[in-house]
Structure 1
Amino acid sequence: MDIPYKLSRRTLLIGGAGAVVLAAAGPLTSQASEPDVFTLASWTPLLGRQLAAGTAVVRLETVEDLRRAPRPGEHVDPAERFRLGFSLVTGAFPLETITISHPKSGAVNLFITHSEGKATAVIDRRGASLLPPTAAAPSSKGPNS
């Protein structure tokens, strides 16, 4: 069997180095171009703003940090934990999940509880780094992202 081209050690090393660079840079570019909506910092600037929520319009009333200082003997857990409080401006809340149109990230799906024109969503990222990455549709982010 004749091979019409020859591979040299230099060609293999350059190709391998290029593959390593592409593999390392790929996740960095995708993370940089897509803000993480499940951080406290991504919601705090929206406090008091009206947001589209499907056919409804809601106002982000509260953004409450739920992290607490560690007790003696506990390790510090830097995972994001926070609560979002929404009030209904127009329309109606759906039963369990709400799709908020986040200005920087697009559609974000949140589990909610609601009563009398108020809704609450809790984001708890503890253990999120232990979960395997999931493939999400580009236009929708689920609560387990």
Structure 2
Amino acid sequence: MNKVPLTVKGAEKLRAELDELKSVVRPRIIAAIAVARAHGDLKENAEYHAAKEQQSFAEGRIAEIESKLSNAQIIDITQVDANGKVVFGATVEIEEIESERKVIYQIVGEDEANIKESRISIGSPIARALIGKEVEDVVTVRAPAGNVDYEIISIQYI
């Protein structure tokens, strides 16, 4: 299986969620199942069925996170020699040439992407256009409404 890129922060976030699921959520669900079992007939016990459903969801999420972490290639952007180029993990300020609107994005892995936090996936059209470019380069991004040109204003490796 191919390695999936993940930032150090993204890996830490996944590990924290995994720890929370294993040490807090799982024991809480087990306790809820025990309490529901004590109420008797399991066929018509809504509490029991709800707890089992929660358990199924939690165990599925644990397996998913463990799989993601085992297939991750964790990249520490502060240790990468990028030579002034846009690389995975870089934070890039770009300006749309036509509207002069500036935006800042960090290029991250698929699982870390969150546009509200200005983190875009390495597989997104903007990120693919930016990778390997330098400050003052102009890139063209294919968008549903047509091509959009951006100029790279700055690149940070934090």
Structure-1-length-normalised TM-score? 0.28
Q: Which has the higher contact order (CA 8 A, sep 6+)?
A: 2
- Greater share of helix: 2
Between structures 1 and 2, the one with greater strand share: 1
